[in-house]
Amino acid sequence: MRFVPQHILYGYIAYENNQYFWMVMTNYRRLYVNGATWFFTVNLVQRNNNSLLVDEIELLRQSFRYVKQRHPFVINAIVIMPEHLHCIWTLPDGDTDYSMRWRLIKSYFSRGISKGEAISQSRIKRQERGIWQRRFWAHLIINQDDFNTHVDYIHWNPVKHGWVKCVSDWAHSSFNRYVAMGVYPENWGHCGDFEIDGGE
Ligand code: NI
């Protein structure tokens, strides 16, 4: 099966002067709507031989819980890979501040990790840790097809990256929750390529 999403809206987050900017085509500005649903890819700085996110999965869960309690959002789908993660969030009406939420999640997690990672000069100057990449991928979900495609992308990701052969073998995703809800059969999977750029 091959997914070819239509009307994909691409954008990316730029970070300058301590602020994040959503870079997107001008025509689509009207899509800054209340209660928007977003797809994210968030990476660790160290991409080789790093399994911090699954090693510290409980701390990561705590980080999400901590932020969700203070700044609610819904996680529609998620996959935690060893050195990056993908997820889909829906924010409350009138709230588009996912950047603040990611900043809080990242810093909560980093505080729980003992120091010792390599830190660049620019981060040392800003007194930042070197755990997470500053930039992350954000894509505004624009319709049901787009949503479905990104949910599939998330659940298929452990196979894509070669960690498991069967989607259901990866414990750190919402796949089994979806199976329980009857959305996927347990043996769901395919060998096609997703024609989307998920930032990773
Ligand atoms: Ni990935």
For residue 165, what is the domain's CATH number?
Answer: 3.30.70.1290
Question: How many domains, in total, are found in the chain?
Answer: 1
Ligand 1 centre and the CA of 84: distance in Å? 7
Dihedral over alpha carbons 57, 97, 87, 82 (to 10 degrees): -40
5 in a structural domain = no
**What pLDDT, on a 0 to 100 scale, did the predictor assign at position 196?**
67
**What pLDDT, on a 0 to 100 scale, did the predictor assign at position 17?**
53
Asked if 67 and 108 touch (Cβ cutoff 8 Å), the reply is yes
Three-class SS of residue 24? strand
200 in a structural domain = no
193 in a structural domain = no
Q: Which of 59, 14, 5, 11 is nearest to 39 (CA)?
A: 11
For the chain, percent of residues with pLDDT exceeding 90: 44
Ligand 1 centre and the CA of 144: distance in Å? 21
16 in a structural domain = yes
* Residue 165 confidence (pLDDT) above 60: yes
Query: Residue 54 is part of which domain span?
Result: 11-180
Ligand 1 centre and the CA of 194: distance in Å? 12
57 in a structural domain = yes
Average pLDDT, integer, range 154-164: 93
What distance in Å separates the CA atoms of residue 38 and residue 127, rounded to the nearest whole number?
29
What distance in Å separates the CA atoms of residue 190 and residue 159, rounded to the nearest whole number?
10
Instruction: Concatenate the DSSP letters of all residues of 65-101 into one string.
Output: HHHHHHS--EEEEEEE-SSEEEEEEEPPTT---HHHH
Ligand 1 centre and the CA of 170: distance in Å? 13
Q: Given the DSSP bridges, would you call strands 19-24 and 84-90 parallel, antiparallel or unpaired?
A: unpaired
Q: Which of 162, 155, 159 is nearest to 177 (CA)?
A: 155
192 in a structural domain = no
* Residue 149 confidence (pLDDT) above 90: no
- Structure-model confidence comparison of residues 192 and 67, the more confident one: 67
CB neighbour burial string for 77-97, b if at least 16 within 10 angstroms, e if fewer: bbbbbbbbbbbbbebeeeebe
pLDDT digits (tens, 9 = 90+) for 111-141: 999 888 888 888 888 878 889 998 899 998 8
22 in a structural domain = yes
1 in a structural domain = no
- Name residue, tokens 């996680």: 75
Ligand 1 centre and the CA of 83: distance in Å? 9
